[in-house]
Amino acid sequence: MTDPAATPGAVAAVAGAARLLSRRAGSDVELSAPEDLGGSGSSVVARARMGQNPFSDRRSVVVKHYRDDPGVADPFRYEVASCQLFTALPSDVRPSPVIIAHDPDQRLLVLEDLGRSSTLADKLFGPDGDAAGHCLLGWARGLGRMQAATAGREGDFGALLRRLGEKVRRDPIADQARAALAGLPDLLGEALGVTVPEMAVPEAHAGVRLLGGTGFRAFSPSDTCPDNNLVTSRGVRFVDFEWGAFRDVVLDAAYVRVPFPGCAASFALPPGAADQMLDAWRTEVTPVWPELDDPDVLRSRLADAQLLWVWWSSWQLLPRLLLRDGPIGPDAGRSPRISTAVRHYWRGLAETARATGRPATAELAAAVVGALEERFPDAPSELPVFPAFRSGH
Protein backbone atom coordinates (compact mmCIF):
# COMPACT_ATOMS: atom_id res chain seq x y z
CA MET A 1 0.00 0.00 0.00
CA THR A 2 1.42 3.36 -1.07
CA ASP A 3 0.35 6.77 0.14
CA PRO A 4 -0.82 8.69 -2.95
CA ALA A 5 1.03 11.74 -1.63
CA ALA A 6 4.34 9.89 -1.27
CA THR A 7 7.08 11.11 -3.59
CA PRO A 8 8.84 8.71 -5.97
CA GLY A 9 12.00 9.14 -3.93
CA ALA A 10 10.25 8.03 -0.74
CA VAL A 11 8.67 5.05 -2.49
CA ALA A 12 12.03 3.95 -3.91
CA ALA A 13 13.80 4.38 -0.56
CA VAL A 14 11.22 2.27 1.28
CA ALA A 15 11.34 -0.43 -1.41
CA GLY A 16 15.12 -0.57 -1.03
CA ALA A 17 14.79 -0.83 2.75
CA ALA A 18 12.34 -3.72 2.41
CA ARG A 19 14.84 -5.61 0.25
CA LEU A 20 17.64 -4.90 2.73
CA LEU A 21 15.63 -6.06 5.77
CA SER A 22 14.39 -9.15 3.92
CA ARG A 23 17.97 -10.16 3.08
CA ARG A 24 18.98 -9.73 6.70
CA ALA A 25 16.01 -11.66 8.05
CA GLY A 26 16.13 -14.44 5.47
CA SER A 27 12.42 -13.94 4.92
CA ASP A 28 10.16 -11.33 3.36
CA VAL A 29 9.77 -8.17 5.42
CA GLU A 30 6.91 -5.95 4.34
CA LEU A 31 7.14 -2.15 4.50
CA SER A 32 4.14 -0.10 3.46
CA ALA A 33 2.60 3.38 3.49
CA PRO A 34 5.77 5.34 2.64
CA GLU A 35 5.64 8.89 4.00
CA ASP A 36 8.09 11.52 2.79
CA LEU A 37 9.73 13.29 5.76
CA GLY A 38 11.84 15.64 3.66
CA GLY A 39 15.61 15.45 3.86
CA SER A 40 18.37 17.50 2.32
CA GLY A 41 19.07 18.08 -1.34
CA SER A 42 21.26 14.99 -1.40
CA SER A 43 19.05 12.61 0.56
CA VAL A 44 15.48 11.39 0.98
CA VAL A 45 14.04 10.59 4.42
CA ALA A 46 10.85 8.53 4.66
CA ARG A 47 8.77 6.72 7.28
CA ALA A 48 7.28 3.32 6.53
CA ARG A 49 4.88 1.04 8.35
CA MET A 50 6.31 -2.35 9.19
CA GLY A 51 4.07 -5.34 8.50
CA GLN A 52 3.68 -8.25 10.86
CA ASN A 53 6.80 -10.39 10.87
CA PRO A 54 8.38 -12.76 13.38
CA PHE A 55 11.70 -10.93 13.49
CA SER A 56 10.71 -7.58 14.97
CA ASP A 57 7.98 -5.95 17.03
CA ARG A 58 8.61 -2.52 15.49
CA ARG A 59 5.56 -0.86 14.00
CA SER A 60 7.46 1.56 11.78
CA VAL A 61 10.97 2.55 10.69
CA VAL A 62 12.62 5.59 9.18
CA VAL A 63 14.61 5.18 5.98
CA LYS A 64 17.31 7.56 4.77
CA HIS A 65 18.57 7.22 1.21
CA TYR A 66 21.58 9.14 -0.07
CA ARG A 67 21.19 9.76 -3.77
CA ASP A 68 24.15 11.91 -4.83
CA ASP A 69 27.70 10.81 -5.52
CA PRO A 70 29.71 10.74 -2.30
CA GLY A 71 32.45 13.22 -3.22
CA VAL A 72 35.65 13.53 -1.20
CA ALA A 73 34.09 12.67 2.20
CA ASP A 74 31.00 10.48 2.00
CA PRO A 75 28.21 11.84 4.24
CA PHE A 76 26.49 8.44 4.13
CA ARG A 77 29.46 6.76 5.77
CA TYR A 78 29.72 9.49 8.40
CA GLU A 79 26.04 9.10 9.19
CA VAL A 80 26.40 5.32 9.51
CA ALA A 81 29.50 5.54 11.73
CA SER A 82 27.84 8.17 13.95
CA CYS A 83 24.68 6.10 14.39
CA GLN A 84 26.73 2.97 15.09
CA LEU A 85 28.70 4.85 17.73
CA PHE A 86 25.48 6.00 19.41
CA THR A 87 23.69 2.66 19.10
CA ALA A 88 26.47 1.08 21.18
CA LEU A 89 25.75 3.50 24.05
CA PRO A 90 23.33 2.73 26.90
CA SER A 91 19.78 3.72 26.02
CA ASP A 92 19.56 6.34 28.79
CA VAL A 93 22.37 8.42 27.24
CA ARG A 94 21.82 7.58 23.58
CA PRO A 95 21.29 10.89 21.74
CA SER A 96 19.99 9.55 18.44
CA PRO A 97 17.84 6.88 16.79
CA VAL A 98 19.17 3.31 16.83
CA ILE A 99 20.56 2.10 13.51
CA ILE A 100 18.79 -1.09 12.41
CA ALA A 101 20.52 -1.78 9.09
CA HIS A 102 22.54 -0.10 6.37
CA ASP A 103 23.49 -0.94 2.80
CA PRO A 104 26.62 0.68 1.29
CA ASP A 105 25.62 -0.36 -2.22
CA GLN A 106 22.24 1.35 -2.03
CA ARG A 107 23.68 4.06 0.29
CA LEU A 108 20.67 3.54 2.52
CA LEU A 109 20.06 3.45 6.29
CA VAL A 110 17.15 2.01 8.26
CA LEU A 111 16.69 3.72 11.61
CA GLU A 112 14.49 3.51 14.67
CA ASP A 113 11.38 5.64 14.32
CA LEU A 114 11.23 8.18 17.15
CA GLY A 115 7.61 8.94 16.34
CA ARG A 116 5.85 12.01 15.05
CA SER A 117 8.01 14.38 17.02
CA SER A 118 8.28 18.13 16.66
CA THR A 119 11.64 19.72 16.08
CA LEU A 120 13.09 22.27 18.48
CA ALA A 121 12.45 24.84 15.74
CA ASP A 122 8.75 23.89 15.70
CA LYS A 123 8.55 24.56 19.44
CA LEU A 124 10.38 27.88 19.12
CA PHE A 125 7.94 28.98 16.43
CA GLY A 126 4.93 27.63 18.29
CA PRO A 127 2.43 29.35 20.60
CA ASP A 128 3.72 28.12 23.98
CA GLY A 129 6.65 30.03 25.45
CA ASP A 130 6.86 27.81 28.54
CA ALA A 131 7.07 24.67 26.40
CA ALA A 132 9.68 26.28 24.15
CA GLY A 133 11.77 27.29 27.16
CA HIS A 134 11.56 23.77 28.54
CA CYS A 135 12.71 22.38 25.18
CA LEU A 136 15.69 24.76 25.06
CA LEU A 137 16.83 23.43 28.42
CA GLY A 138 16.27 19.90 27.13
CA TRP A 139 18.43 20.71 24.11
CA ALA A 140 21.22 21.95 26.38
CA ARG A 141 21.01 18.89 28.63
CA GLY A 142 20.90 16.59 25.61
CA LEU A 143 23.96 18.25 24.11
CA GLY A 144 25.90 17.89 27.35
CA ARG A 145 24.78 14.29 27.80
CA MET A 146 25.88 13.42 24.24
CA GLN A 147 29.26 15.03 24.79
CA ALA A 148 29.81 13.31 28.14
CA ALA A 149 28.81 9.93 26.69
CA THR A 150 31.22 10.23 23.73
CA ALA A 151 34.22 11.60 25.63
CA GLY A 152 37.23 9.39 24.92
CA ARG A 153 35.50 7.61 22.03
CA GLU A 154 37.24 9.44 19.18
CA GLY A 155 39.30 6.33 18.44
CA ASP A 156 36.14 4.20 18.27
CA PHE A 157 34.59 6.65 15.78
CA GLY A 158 37.71 6.52 13.64
CA ALA A 159 37.68 2.72 13.67
CA LEU A 160 34.03 2.66 12.57
CA LEU A 161 34.82 5.01 9.69
CA ARG A 162 37.82 2.97 8.57
CA ARG A 163 35.71 -0.18 8.62
CA LEU A 164 33.38 1.57 6.18
CA GLY A 165 36.32 2.54 3.97
CA GLU A 166 36.30 6.21 4.98
CA LYS A 167 39.14 8.37 6.26
CA VAL A 168 38.70 10.40 9.42
CA ARG A 169 38.38 14.04 8.48
CA ARG A 170 39.00 17.09 10.59
CA ASP A 171 36.06 19.06 11.96
CA PRO A 172 34.69 20.76 8.80
CA ILE A 173 34.25 24.03 10.70
CA ALA A 174 37.96 24.18 11.60
CA ASP A 175 39.19 25.10 8.11
CA GLN A 176 36.31 27.52 7.60
CA ALA A 177 37.06 29.22 10.93
CA ARG A 178 40.72 29.62 10.02
CA ALA A 179 39.73 31.09 6.66
CA ALA A 180 37.44 33.55 8.46
CA LEU A 181 40.19 34.60 10.85
CA ALA A 182 42.49 35.25 7.90
CA GLY A 183 40.02 36.89 5.55
CA LEU A 184 37.44 38.77 7.62
CA PRO A 185 39.54 41.93 8.24
CA ASP A 186 39.76 42.62 4.50
CA LEU A 187 36.10 41.68 3.98
CA LEU A 188 34.95 44.08 6.70
CA GLY A 189 36.95 46.84 5.06
CA GLU A 190 35.57 46.15 1.60
CA ALA A 191 31.97 45.52 2.64
CA LEU A 192 31.45 48.00 5.48
CA GLY A 193 34.45 50.33 5.47
CA VAL A 194 35.46 49.05 8.91
CA THR A 195 39.13 49.00 9.87
CA VAL A 196 39.97 46.16 12.24
CA PRO A 197 41.99 47.33 15.28
CA GLU A 198 45.44 45.79 15.34
CA MET A 199 44.93 43.86 18.58
CA ALA A 200 41.52 42.48 17.54
CA VAL A 201 43.21 39.91 15.31
CA PRO A 202 45.32 38.25 18.05
CA GLU A 203 42.30 38.40 20.37
CA ALA A 204 40.33 36.45 17.77
CA HIS A 205 43.19 34.04 17.11
CA ALA A 206 43.19 33.05 20.79
CA GLY A 207 40.21 30.87 19.93
CA VAL A 208 42.28 28.75 17.53
CA ARG A 209 43.17 26.57 20.50
CA LEU A 210 39.59 25.30 20.44
CA LEU A 211 40.04 23.96 16.91
CA GLY A 212 42.81 21.52 17.75
CA GLY A 213 43.45 18.59 20.03
CA THR A 214 42.22 19.98 23.33
CA GLY A 215 41.44 17.88 26.38
CA PHE A 216 37.71 18.62 26.05
CA ARG A 217 36.85 16.76 22.88
CA ALA A 218 33.63 14.88 22.19
CA PHE A 219 31.32 14.10 19.30
CA SER A 220 29.56 16.97 17.55
CA PRO A 221 26.98 16.73 14.75
CA SER A 222 28.62 19.97 13.48
CA ASP A 223 25.10 21.25 12.82
CA THR A 224 23.01 21.64 15.95
CA CYS A 225 20.55 24.12 14.46
CA PRO A 226 17.03 23.97 15.95
CA ASP A 227 15.59 22.09 12.98
CA ASN A 228 18.07 19.22 13.45
CA ASN A 229 16.78 18.19 16.87
CA LEU A 230 13.64 16.21 17.68
CA VAL A 231 11.64 16.76 20.86
CA THR A 232 10.54 13.29 21.94
CA SER A 233 8.94 11.78 25.04
CA ARG A 234 12.46 10.71 26.04
CA GLY A 235 13.94 14.17 25.65
CA VAL A 236 15.70 15.97 22.80
CA ARG A 237 17.28 13.69 20.20
CA PHE A 238 19.79 14.80 17.60
CA VAL A 239 19.52 13.81 13.94
CA ASP A 240 21.59 14.32 10.77
CA PHE A 241 25.22 13.39 11.32
CA GLU A 242 26.52 13.85 7.78
CA TRP A 243 29.19 16.21 9.12
CA GLY A 244 29.82 14.45 12.42
CA ALA A 245 33.24 15.06 13.97
CA PHE A 246 35.02 15.29 17.30
CA ARG A 247 35.85 18.78 18.59
CA ASP A 248 36.04 20.90 21.73
CA VAL A 249 32.73 20.71 23.59
CA VAL A 250 32.65 24.46 24.27
CA LEU A 251 32.25 25.22 20.56
CA ASP A 252 28.77 23.68 20.52
CA ALA A 253 27.85 25.05 23.95
CA ALA A 254 28.65 28.58 22.78
CA TYR A 255 26.00 28.24 20.05
CA VAL A 256 23.49 29.63 22.54
CA ARG A 257 25.59 32.75 23.12
CA VAL A 258 25.27 33.99 19.53
CA PRO A 259 22.60 32.39 19.21
CA PHE A 260 22.60 29.57 16.64
CA PRO A 261 25.10 31.28 14.31
CA GLY A 262 24.36 31.01 10.63
CA CYS A 263 21.26 28.85 11.20
CA ALA A 264 18.15 29.76 9.25
CA ALA A 265 16.30 30.00 12.59
CA SER A 266 18.71 32.44 14.23
CA PHE A 267 16.35 34.62 16.26
CA ALA A 268 17.20 35.93 19.71
CA LEU A 269 16.65 34.11 22.98
CA PRO A 270 14.71 35.75 25.83
CA PRO A 271 16.77 37.38 28.61
CA GLY A 272 18.49 34.86 30.85
CA ALA A 273 17.76 31.85 28.62
CA ALA A 274 21.35 31.42 27.40
CA ASP A 275 22.69 31.39 30.96
CA GLN A 276 20.07 28.85 32.04
CA MET A 277 20.93 26.65 29.07
CA LEU A 278 24.64 26.83 29.82
CA ASP A 279 23.97 25.91 33.45
CA ALA A 280 21.98 22.86 32.31
CA TRP A 281 24.74 21.89 29.88
CA ARG A 282 27.47 22.34 32.48
CA THR A 283 25.69 20.01 34.92
CA GLU A 284 26.01 17.20 32.35
CA VAL A 285 29.65 17.75 31.34
CA THR A 286 31.44 18.65 34.56
CA PRO A 287 31.47 15.07 35.90
CA VAL A 288 33.66 14.27 32.87
CA TRP A 289 35.55 17.59 32.66
CA PRO A 290 35.60 19.06 36.20
CA GLU A 291 37.82 21.92 34.98
CA LEU A 292 34.78 23.39 33.23
CA ASP A 293 33.15 23.92 36.63
CA ASP A 294 35.71 26.67 37.22
CA PRO A 295 33.86 29.91 36.29
CA ASP A 296 37.01 31.64 35.04
CA VAL A 297 38.05 28.73 32.82
CA LEU A 298 34.59 28.31 31.35
CA ARG A 299 34.05 32.06 30.86
CA SER A 300 37.30 32.42 28.92
CA ARG A 301 36.70 29.40 26.70
CA LEU A 302 33.09 30.40 25.99
CA ALA A 303 34.24 33.91 25.05
CA ASP A 304 36.82 32.48 22.64
CA ALA A 305 34.19 30.21 21.10
CA GLN A 306 31.64 33.02 20.76
CA LEU A 307 34.28 35.19 19.09
CA LEU A 308 35.09 32.40 16.62
CA TRP A 309 31.41 31.87 15.78
CA VAL A 310 30.81 35.58 15.19
CA TRP A 311 33.83 35.85 12.90
CA TRP A 312 32.84 32.64 11.11
CA SER A 313 29.17 33.60 10.63
CA SER A 314 30.14 37.08 9.43
CA TRP A 315 32.57 35.51 6.94
CA GLN A 316 29.71 33.31 5.69
CA LEU A 317 26.96 35.93 5.59
CA LEU A 318 28.57 39.25 4.58
CA PRO A 319 29.10 38.24 0.92
CA ARG A 320 25.39 37.40 0.71
CA LEU A 321 24.51 40.66 2.43
CA LEU A 322 26.33 42.65 -0.25
CA LEU A 323 24.09 41.09 -2.86
CA ARG A 324 20.79 41.29 -0.97
CA ASP A 325 19.69 41.87 2.59
CA GLY A 326 17.23 38.99 2.64
CA PRO A 327 16.46 36.29 5.20
CA ILE A 328 19.22 33.91 6.24
CA GLY A 329 17.14 30.87 5.25
CA PRO A 330 14.72 30.18 2.40
CA ASP A 331 11.59 30.80 4.51
CA ALA A 332 11.30 34.50 5.35
CA GLY A 333 8.67 33.74 7.98
CA ARG A 334 11.06 31.56 9.97
CA SER A 335 14.30 33.44 9.38
CA PRO A 336 15.60 36.93 10.25
CA ARG A 337 17.18 39.45 7.90
CA ILE A 338 20.91 38.95 7.50
CA SER A 339 21.87 42.48 8.52
CA THR A 340 19.75 42.32 11.68
CA ALA A 341 21.15 38.94 12.70
CA VAL A 342 24.79 39.91 12.07
CA ARG A 343 24.29 43.15 13.98
CA HIS A 344 22.91 41.13 16.91
CA TYR A 345 25.89 38.75 16.81
CA TRP A 346 28.37 41.63 17.05
CA ARG A 347 26.35 43.49 19.67
CA GLY A 348 26.41 40.42 21.90
CA LEU A 349 30.11 39.93 21.24
CA ALA A 350 30.80 43.51 22.34
CA GLU A 351 29.22 42.78 25.73
CA THR A 352 31.23 39.58 26.14
CA ALA A 353 34.46 41.27 25.04
CA ARG A 354 34.05 44.09 27.55
CA ALA A 355 33.32 41.58 30.34
CA THR A 356 36.33 39.37 29.56
CA GLY A 357 39.07 41.91 28.89
CA ARG A 358 39.11 41.96 25.08
CA PRO A 359 39.05 45.73 24.42
CA ALA A 360 40.04 45.60 20.76
CA THR A 361 37.24 43.15 20.03
CA ALA A 362 34.76 45.40 21.83
CA GLU A 363 35.97 48.36 19.72
CA LEU A 364 35.67 46.33 16.51
CA ALA A 365 32.20 45.09 17.43
CA ALA A 366 30.97 48.63 18.04
CA ALA A 367 32.35 49.70 14.66
CA VAL A 368 30.66 46.81 12.84
CA VAL A 369 27.31 47.49 14.52
CA GLY A 370 27.55 51.19 13.61
CA ALA A 371 28.47 50.42 10.00
CA LEU A 372 25.55 48.00 9.61
CA GLU A 373 23.14 50.54 11.07
CA GLU A 374 24.37 53.16 8.60
CA ARG A 375 24.39 50.81 5.61
CA PHE A 376 20.97 49.23 6.30
CA PRO A 377 18.90 51.90 8.11
CA ASP A 378 15.57 50.29 7.15
CA ALA A 379 16.43 46.95 8.78
CA PRO A 380 15.05 46.21 12.26
CA SER A 381 17.56 47.47 14.79
CA GLU A 382 16.87 44.65 17.26
CA LEU A 383 16.77 40.95 16.47
CA PRO A 384 13.33 39.67 17.55
CA VAL A 385 13.10 36.81 19.99
CA PHE A 386 11.74 33.51 18.70
CA PRO A 387 7.97 33.77 18.11
CA ALA A 388 7.12 31.50 21.07
CA PHE A 389 8.45 34.19 23.42
CA ARG A 390 6.79 37.21 21.81
CA SER A 391 4.10 38.98 23.74
CA GLY A 392 0.62 38.09 22.55
CA HIS A 393 1.86 35.28 20.33
DSSP of 319-378? HHHHH---BSSS-GGGS-BHHHHHHHHHHHHHHHHHHTT-HHHHHHHHHHHHHHHHH-TT
Superfamily of domain 8-112: Phosphorylase Kinase; domain 1 (3.30.200.20)
Superfamily of domain 118-389: Aminoglycoside phosphotransferase (APH), C-terminal lobe (3.90.1200.10)
At 54 the pLDDT is 61
Cis peptide bond upstream of 259, omega within 30: yes
Residue 361 to residue 363: CA distance in whole angstroms: 5
Single pTM value for the model:
0.93
At 115 the pLDDT is 86
At 86 the pLDDT is 95
Query: Rounded to 5 degrees, what angle do the CA atoms 346, 347, 350 make?
Result: 85
Domain boundaries, the chain: 8-112, 118-389
At 195 the pLDDT is 97
Q: Mapping DSSP to helix (H, G, I), strand (E, B) and coil, where does residue 390 land?
A: coil
At 1 the pLDDT is 47
Q: Mapping DSSP to helix (H, G, I), strand (E, B) and coil, where does residue 108 land?
A: strand
pLDDT tens profile 339-351 = 999 999 999 999 9
Residue 278 to residue 283: CA distance in whole angstroms: 9
Residues of the chain below pLDDT 50: 1, 4
